[in-house]
Chains A and B, each alone.
Chain A
Amino acid sequence: MTPAGAWTKAFAALLAALIVMPVLAAVPLAFSEQSFLRLPPHDWSLRWWNAFFADPSWLRALLTSLEVAALSCLLSVAAGTSAALGLTRLGPRMRALATGLFLGPMVAPVIVLAVGLYALARAAGLVGSAFGLVLAHTMLALPYVVLNVGVAVAALDPHLALAANGLGAGPWRVFRTITLPSILPGVIGGGVFASVTSFDEVVLAVFLAGPGVKTLPVRIWEEVRVEYTPVVAVAATIMIILAVLGSATGRLATRRAR
C-alpha cells in the first residue's frame, strides 16, 4: 500500500470528527455549572452529577436498563447460538431463507417493529412490563448474536465434533466440552453486541415503557421534553462509559479465549 496523501488524511480526520464529536459533546456538558445546555460551558461543577444521583427515578432507570440489557443478552445469546449451530445443518436453500429471517430485525425499520410489537404486547398485556421489553430487545439483538456466532461456527472444524462423538461423547457433552469452547469468542462478541443494543435502544423502549419500567434512554427522552437541563448529559456520559467498558471487556475476553 502507498502511504496516505495529505488530502486523504484530511478527509479521514473530518470523518473521524463527524463520528466522535456528537458523542464527546455530551461529556463537557455534564460538568457544566449552568442550568441549560450550552457549549462550551462557562463554569465547571459536579452539580448535575449530584442531581442525578439524588434523584431515585434516574437511578431506577439506570438499574432497569442494566437489568433489561443483561436479561436480553442472556436470552439472545442462548437463542442465537442455537440458531447459528442449527443453520449449519440445513441445506443451502433453507439456510439462506432461515438466515434472512434471523437477520430480519436488523434491516426492518425499528419504528415498524415498534408499532407491530406495541399492538402484540397490548394484546398479550405486556406493555409496561420488564418482561415484554426483555423479549423485544432479545428479538432486536438476536441478529447480532447469529452473525457473530455464525462466523465462529463457520471456522469450526466439523471433524472435532465427529472425533468427540467417536470417542463416546453424546451431543450435549460434545457441545459443552468441544463446540462451545471453540466458538466462545463469537459467543462473547455476540453477547456484548446484544447488551449494547439493548442498553441504548430507545424506540421500542418508549413504546413498551410503563410507569414501573423506564430505561435510561426513555428517562433521558422524557427529561429532554420537559426541561432541558445538563442532568441528561450526565446520564449520557454514564451511558458512554458503560458502553465503552462493555465493548472493552468483550474485546479482552475474546482475545483471551483465542
Chain B
Amino acid sequence: MTAVAFRGIAKRFGALEALCPLDLDIASGEFVSFLGPSGSGKSTLLNICAGYVEPTAGALFVAGRDVTALPARRRNIGMVFQNYALFPHLDVFENVAYGLRVRKIAPAQIRRRVEEALGAVRLDGFERRSVLNLSGGQQQRVALARAMAIEPDILLMDEPLGALDKQLRKEVQIEIRRMHVARPRTTLYVTHDQEEALVMSDRIAVMRGGRLVQLGTARELYSRPADSFVARFLGESNLIGGRVAGLRDGRATLGAKGLAAPIEGHAGEGLRLGEAACALIRPEHVRPVAGGQRACVAERIFLGEIVALRLALPGGVELWSRLFSSDAPAGDQIEIGWDRERVSILPETS
C-alpha cells in the first residue's frame, strides 16, 4: 500500500528552483533515504512533507488523503531535527509527552505511552532527567521517542545524526535500524552521508540540483548507477572518461585515451554514440589477472583485512584496486583485469 505519494510536487524560492516537479511513491513501512549534497532539494522535500514549507505546485497524499493544504499540526507526522529541537525547559518525560498532551489523552495512558516510547529508544528511567544534561546521542533518542509517541503516519528525519561524533553516529544509526526492523514505520530520512543511507534504507533516492536522479535499493544504485554523479556519491569508484565507441543490445564500448583497448560494459540510460561518457569500474573489481594489463603499484594503503592500491597504467590512466591483503602482490609490478559484466558505461555529469 502506498503511504506517501508525491504528485508533481515542486518548490520555487523566487528565481531558485529548489525542487523540480517530482513524482514519488513510498510504500507503507518503507524506509527511504534522500541522499544528496547540500542544495539538492532533499530538505525542502522533507519540509514540504511535514507541512513547514508550502509547495509551489503539485499534491501530496498521505495514506490516500490529500494533505497538501493541511497545516503541519493536523498531519500527524513525526519529525526529528538535526539539532534535536528538544524543549529545554521540560524534562525528558514532558518532552515525549508533549504531542500526547496536545491530543488530550488521559494521564494514565500518557504515562504508559511515554514509558513505551522511552523503552523503545532504551532510555527507561530517564523520565525526570533534564534534557540539557543528556549526551548528544541521548538527546537525539529522546527526540526520536517524542516523534514516535504520537504514533505518526510517517516519520521524517532531517540529518538526525549530523550533529553527533562518528562513534555516536554509528550507535544511533544502528538503534534507528533496529527500531525500524522491530516496528516498520514509513520513514523519510534525509542525509548527505552515503554510509547512513546504505545501512538503514530499503530504498535510496539520490538528489541533485532539485532533481531526483535515481531511486532504487542500495544494491541497484551501487552496481548500476544512473550516471557518474551517483557512481561518485555511493561508494568508491574508478571513473575513466572517454567517448562512446559502440552501443548495442544494452552493451556499450568506451574508447578512452591512454588505454590500448576500449572498455566494454553494461550501457547506462541516455548514452549516444560518439558522445562523452565514462566507464565505472569499482575498485574491488580491479583484480590481479595473469596475462592482463600491466600496471605499476604507485601507492599502497593498508586498511587491515583490505589493502588499497593505486595503480598507474602505462598510458597515464590511474585505477584504484581494493584487494584482500592476502591477494595483494608483493612487488611493484602487477598484471590486472576486470570482469566486463561488472563494468558500467555511464553518461557523464559535470
Q: Which of A160, A168, A169 has most B Cβ within 10 Å?
A: A168
Q: Which of A159, A177, A181 contacts B85 (CB 8 A)?
A: A159
Q: Which residues of A contact B88 (CB under 8 A)?
A: 182
Q: Which of A162, A167, A170 contacts B98 (CB 8 A)?
A: A167
Q: Which residues of A contact B146 (CB under 8 A)?
A: 163, 167
Q: Which residues of A contact B74 (CB under 8 A)?
A: 168
Q: Which residues of B contact A165 (CB under 8 A)?
A: 52, 71-73
Q: Mark A153-171, 1 if CB is under 8 A from B, else 0.
A: 0000101101111111110
Complex Cα distance, B77 from A192, in Å, reads: 41
Nearest chain A residue, comparing its CB with the CB of B78 = A166
Nearest chain B residue, comparing its CB with the CB of A161 = B85
Q: Which of A157, A160, A168, A181 contacts B99 (CB 8 A)?
A: A168
CB B195 to nearest CB in A, in angstroms, measures 25
A168 touches B83 (CB 8 A): no
A169 touches B50 (CB 8 A): no
In the complex, whether A243 has a CB less than 8 A from a CB of chain B is no
Kindly identify, within residues 234 to 258 of chain B, every residue whose CB is under 8 Å from any CB belonging to chain A.
none
B73 touches A168 (CB 8 A): yes
B73 touches A163 (CB 8 A): no
Q: Which residues of A contact B229 (CB under 8 A)?
A: none
CB A188 to nearest CB in B, in angstroms, measures 14
B103 touches A160 (CB 8 A): no
A163 touches B81 (CB 8 A): yes
Complex Cα distance, B73 from A170, in Å, reads: 7
In the complex, whether A178 has a CB less than 8 A from a CB of chain B is yes
CB A147 to nearest CB in B, in angstroms, measures 23
Q: Which of A160, A166, A168, A173 contacts B87 (CB 8 A)?
A: A160
A159 touches B102 (CB 8 A): no
In the complex, whether B150 has a CB less than 8 A from a CB of chain A is yes
In the complex, whether B89 has a CB less than 8 A from a CB of chain A is yes
Knowing A157-B83, A159-B83, A173-B102 are in contact, say whether A166-B73 is a contact too (CB < 8 A): yes
Q: Which residues of A contact B99 (CB under 8 A)?
A: 167-168
In the complex, whether B207 has a CB less than 8 A from a CB of chain A is no
B87 touches A178 (CB 8 A): yes
A163 touches B79 (CB 8 A): yes
Q: Which residues of B contact A173 (CB under 8 A)?
A: 102
Q: Which residues of A contact B102 (CB under 8 A)?
A: 167-169, 173
B73 touches A169 (CB 8 A): yes
Nearest chain B residue, comparing its CB with the CB of A159 = B85
A-B contact pairs, 29 of them (CB 8 A): A159-B83, A159-B85, A160-B87, A162-B72, A162-B79, A162-B81, A163-B81, A163-B85, A163-B87, A164-B87, A164-B98, A165-B52, A165-B71, A166-B50, A166-B78, A166-B79, A167-B98, A167-B99, A167-B146, A168-B73, A168-B99, A168-B102, A168-B150, A169-B102, A170-B73, A178-B87, A181-B89, A182-B88, A182-B89
Q: Which residues of A contact B (CB under 8 A)?
A: 157, 159-160, 162-170, 173, 177-178, 181-182
With A167-B146, A170-B73 given, name 20 new contacts (CB 8 A): A157-B83, A159-B85, A162-B79, A162-B81, A162-B85, A163-B87, A165-B52, A165-B71, A165-B73, A166-B51, A166-B73, A166-B75, A167-B102, A168-B74, A168-B76, A168-B150, A169-B102, A173-B102, A177-B98, A181-B89
